[in-house]
C-alpha cells in the first residue's frame, strides 16, 4: 500500500509518500480501505516530536473507510461496512488495521469524509463541556481557538445545551464564519485583549467555563476570564509554547483547572457510546462537521504545512 511516512521527527517536509507493507488484521480487529483521513493537531505534534512506534512511521489518529477484512473474533462488524476509526497512529495510509473497539459504524446517509472528522474533535469537545466542565444550561462558555475542529464542535454542542457562547479567533473574517454554528459573541485576539473583552461581554462577571485547546500564554487569560467557581478544560497545546501559569490565580475565585485528553478514555464504554451518539447527531443534521479543504494523501506534507499556518477553519482531510 501507499502511505505518508517519516523516518525522523521534524517539519512537514519529513513526510514521504512511499510503498510500505500492508497492515495485518488482528483477530479482534478489522482492516479498512481508507477513504478519508482527518488530520488532527495531535498528528502534527507527533510528527514534530512524538515517538516513532514503527519505522518508517505512519502518523495519524483518525480515518474512515470500508471494512475489507474482519478478525476471527469479531462478530458485530462485517466486510463492506463503513466505519470511522481512531488509533494512536496509522491513519495516513491506503489501508488501516485497528481493533474493532476502535471502530464506529457510519450511517448510510453520512459522507465518510465527514465521519472521519467526528470521533476525536467532537468526543473531546463533549468531554470538555460536560464530563470535566460540568456545563449547565444558562451558563456562559468561552471557546479559545473557535475556528479549530475542537472549537467548532464545542461551539455547537454548548449552544445546543443552552449556553451563551463566546469564542476567540485570529481575524474578524474567521469569527463571522463561526456565527452560523451558534456563536453569540466573537473576540479577535489579534486586535483585542481577550480578558478585557470577556469582562465587557459578561458585565464583569466572567464566564462559567473555558474550553482551551491552546495552552501556553493563552491559558492564563482563560483563568482570568473565569467567573466565581468557574472551570477551565485545558485540552491541547496548539500554541506550542510552554504552559506557565500563576496557579494562585485559581484560588481567590475557587476556580478549577482540568486537563482533558481523550487518550485512554476513548477505550471506555462511556466515550465509545458517546462518540456513536455524536456520529448519529451529525448524520441527522443536528451537528455540522466543517471541512476546510482536502489534499491527496501524496501531498500530506503540504496538508500538514497548511494546518500549521493556522489558516484553516475546521478540518483538513487527506484522500488516498
The pLDDT, as a whole number, for residue 247 is 86
Flag whether 88 is in a domain.
Answer: yes
Single residue among 243, 262, 281 that ends a domain in this structure: 262
Same domain, 6 and 55: yes
Same domain, 77 and 8: yes
Flag whether 302 is in a domain.
Answer: yes
Tens-place pLDDT, residues 25-61:
999 999 999 999 999 999 999 999 999 999 999 999 9
The pLDDT, as a whole number, for residue 320 is 98
Same domain, 161 and 197: yes
User: Would you say 316 and 292 are in contact if contact means Cβ atoms under 8 Å apart?
Assistant: yes
Tens-place pLDDT, residues 280-298:
999 999 999 999 999 999 9
Tens-place pLDDT, residues 116-174:
999 999 999 999 999 999 999 999 999 999 999 999 999 999 999 999 999 999 999 99
Tens-place pLDDT, residues 197-239:
999 999 999 999 999 999 988 999 999 999 999 999 999 876 5
Tens-place pLDDT, residues 51-100:
999 999 999 999 999 999 999 999 999 999 999 999 999 999 999 999 99
Same domain, 242 and 138: yes
Same domain, 7 and 107: yes
Same domain, 313 and 198: no
Burial code (b: 16+ CB inside 10 Å, e: under 16) for 121-132 equals bbbbbbbbbbbb
Same domain, 209 and 248: yes
| Residues forming beta bridges with residue 29, ordered by sequence position | 99
Flag whether 23 is in a domain.
Answer: yes
Domain count, the chain: 2
From 152, 118, 124, 147, select the one nearest 282 (Cα to Cα): 118
Flag whether 281 is in a domain.
Answer: no
Q: Is pLDDT of 310 > 90?
A: no
- In three-state secondary structure terms, 95 is strand
Flag whether 277 is in a domain.
Answer: no
The pLDDT, as a whole number, for residue 240 is 64
Tens-place pLDDT, residues 229-282:
999 999 987 656 676 788 888 999 999 999 999 988 998 999 999 999 999 999
Same domain, 113 and 126: no
Same domain, 78 and 161: no
Flag whether 282 is in a domain.
Answer: no
Same domain, 105 and 134: no
- Distance in angstroms (rounded) separating the CA atoms of residues 138 and 161: 8
- Distance in angstroms (rounded) separating the CA atoms of residues 317 and 60: 11
Same domain, 254 and 127: yes
Same domain, 140 and 253: yes
Cell 479559545 maps to which residue? 144
pTM value is 0.95
Task: Find the CATH number of the domain harbouring 13.
Answer: 3.90.180.10
Using DSSP bridges, classify how beta strands 29-38 and 291-296 pair: parallel, antiparallel or unpaired.
unpaired
Cell 514534530 maps to which residue? 48
Flag whether 17 is in a domain.
Answer: yes
Task: Find the CATH number of the domain harbouring 201.
Answer: 3.40.50.720
Mean pLDDT of 170-193: 97
Domain that holds residue 68: 2-117+289-319
Flag whether 283 is in a domain.
Answer: no
Amino acid at each position: 500500500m501507499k502511505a505518508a511516512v517519516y523516518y525522523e521527527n521534524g517539519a512537514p517536509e519529513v513526510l514521504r509518500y512511499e510503498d510500505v507493507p500492508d497492515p495485518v488484521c488482528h483477530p479482534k480487529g478489522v482492516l479498512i480501505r481508507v477513504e478519508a483521513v482527518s488530520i488532527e493537531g495531535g498528528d502534527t505534534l507527533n510528527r514534530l516530536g512524538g515517538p516513532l512506534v514503527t519505522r518508517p512511521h505512519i502518523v495519524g489518529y483518525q480515518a474512515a473507510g470500508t471494512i475489507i477484512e474482519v478478525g476471527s473474533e469479531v462478530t458485530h462488524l462485517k466486510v463492506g461496512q463503513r466505519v470511522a476509526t481512531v488509533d494512536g497512529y496509522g491513519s495516513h495510509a491506503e489501508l488501516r488495521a485497528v481493533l474493532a473497539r476502535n471502530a464506529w459504524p457510519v450511517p448510510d446517509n453520512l459522507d465518510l469524509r465527514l465521519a472521519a472528522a467526528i470521533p476525536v474533535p467532537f468526543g473531546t469537545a463533549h468531554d470538555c463541556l460536560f464530563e470535566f466542565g460540568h456545563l449547565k444550561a444558562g451558563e456562559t462558555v468561552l471557546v479559545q481557538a473557535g475556528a479549530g475542529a475542537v472549537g467548532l464542535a464545542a461551539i455547537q454542542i454548548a449552544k445546543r445545551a443552552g449556553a451563551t457562547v463566546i469564542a476567540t479567533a485570529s481575524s474578524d473574517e474567521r469569527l463571522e464564519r463561526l456565527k452560523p454554528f451558534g456563536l453569540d459573541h466573537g473576540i479577535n485576539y489579534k486586535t483585542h485583549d481577550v480578558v478585557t473583552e470577556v469582562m465587557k461581554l459578561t458585565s464583569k462577571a466572567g464566564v462559567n467555563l473555558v474550553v482551551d485547546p491552546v495552552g501556553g500564554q493563552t491559558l492564563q487569560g482563560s483563568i482570568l476570564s473565569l467567573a466565581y467557581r468557574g472551570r477551565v478544560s485545558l485540552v491541547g497545546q496548539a500554541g506550542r509554547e510552554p504552559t506557565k501559569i500563576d496557579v494562585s490565580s485559581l484560588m481567590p475565585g475557587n476556580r478549577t483547572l482540568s486537563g482533558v485528553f481523550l487518550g485512554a478514555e476513548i477505550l471506555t464504554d462511556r466515550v465509545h457510546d458517546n462518540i456513536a451518539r455524536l456520529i448519529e447527531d451529525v448524520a441527522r443534521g443536528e451537528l455540522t462537521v466543517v471541512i476546510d479543504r482536502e489534499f491527496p494523501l501524496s501531498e500530506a506534507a503540504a496538508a500538514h504545512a497548511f494546518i500549521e499556518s493556522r489558516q484553516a477553519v475546521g478540518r483538513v482531510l487527506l484522500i488516498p
